[in-house]
A and B are shown apart, each in its own frame.
Chain A
């Protein structure tokens, strides 16, 4: 019997496929998410749009909130640790959190090194905006990926950019000859073996979800259309007028992402989604996606 194998960690992410993982800030929201059909919840002190508004240093949530959410639902509970913050991750693991997001949404604790995730029993998900970041995170032990997008903006454009880029880079790598692959590994800054795997299979070795800007059922379906394995929704749900209805609509649009009549149906009278931010209006310091590359 062996716990914490890579297959057990990445397999857990496989079970999330086609699903929606929702940010929640308390037990009540977690229960709404579970009842709406979320496949997991992310327990947070503040959703990304509030982190943006509050400014200052964003850290791991108060363990009380994480515990409260774990007690409230039977689906898996994820929580965020700062990039490179080994101790926040160890604390979350000790609490029995099911998945840790080493997340650029929080203020990085380390500007050079990510957590060595292979040394943990609990699996990690990390953000990536291109193939280089994706494979570096996998090398460090991430068992699941997500696009970074631009969290807390309600603007899908960056998540689209990141998923399109990764898909395009995968297609390019597939067509390289063996000698070109060595150079590509150097250019991307990734281990040759992982790149060879992408070349041979035409896909990433772990599940890749969309995240960072999903605000409507159609946004979720768009990311599935572009090849995401599932969707994280952060501020989108509990910053909307009717979270319960909104959550259900996003779950159904994700499952039936090519059934446009159904998406029209679930999108009716949802009320106002979160307001959203034009990415061009963000200054460099406000761009979360540039953290932890």
Chain B
């Protein structure tokens, strides 16, 4: 199984390390042609404005949309979550618009409000260590979206079919259970 990490900007190496730790081959994706050989794709944390701009510039909007339409799973973390969302609060345009949710950018405030905490996630036994950095929140979701975790009553992890999104950074810890969860989604999609 090969899983890509979109490598236009952001925490690419960390996601690749986490993927390798759960036993799959990780590929840094810089060109759309590379998507053909992949079974799933992670859109990493970084700056969503930068990643979105570079995705548009290099044809990733169309390519990732058809990747999704072919049934292959996508996982967006932090900026990646923003890129997946249908709607971004306070902005007229969004990016991929694949996941039925409204997100708020920098929802906790500035960097000094960034934090880490133990977070229970549905489908994972014990709470995971979640690192929130200038993190977004999911303000509302459509009926097809399953909420997997909340922090202080706000949604921070969600799934819609083959789409997974979280506001925090599972790739910044040694806890790879959310990556394992995503790899299980890919296995189900392939089955």
CB distance from B90 to the nearest CB of A (A): 9
A93:B46 contact, CB within 8 angstroms: no
Chain-B contact segment, one of A6-14, A131-139, A237-245 = A6-14
Contact of A3 among B53, B78, B114, B172 (CB under 8 A): B114
Name the interface residues of A20-68: CB closer than 8 Å to any CB of B: 34, 37-40
Q: Knowing A12-B134, A15-B78, A255-B8 touch, does A37 contact B111 (C-beta < 8 A)? A: no
Q: Which residues from B are CB-within-8-Å of A7?
A: 116, 131, 172-173
> Which of B10-18, B33-41, B67-75, B154-162 forms part of the interface with chain A?
B10-18
Shortest A3–chain B CB gap in Å is 5
Interface residues contributed by chain B, number (CB under 8 Å)? 37
* Chain A residues within an 8 Å CB radius of B8: 18, 255
What CA separation (Å) do A192 and B13 show in the bound complex?
Answer: 27
Looking at the assembled complex, report how far the CB atom of A76 sits from the nearest CB atom of chain B, in whole angstroms.
6
CA distance A14 to B45 in the complex (A): 9
Binding site of A, secondary structure by majority: helix, strand, loop or mixed? Answer: loop
Residues of A near B172 (CB, < 8 A) are 7, 11, 14
Contact between B131 and A11 (Cβ–Cβ < 8 Å)? yes
B117 with A37: CB separation less than 8 A: no
- Judge if A204 is at the interface, Cβ distance under 8 Å: no
- Rounded to whole angstroms, the CA-CA distance of A99 and B11 in the bound complex is 18
Say if the beta carbon of A291 comes within 8 Å of chain B: no
Contact with A along B112-125 (1 / 0, CB 8 A): 11111100000000
A2, A15, A123: the one within 8 Å of B11 (CB): A15
Q: Write the residues of chain B forming the contact surface with A, with a CB cutoff of 8 angstroms.
A: 7-14, 30, 45-47, 49-50, 53-54, 57, 78-79, 105-106, 109-117, 131-134, 169, 172-173
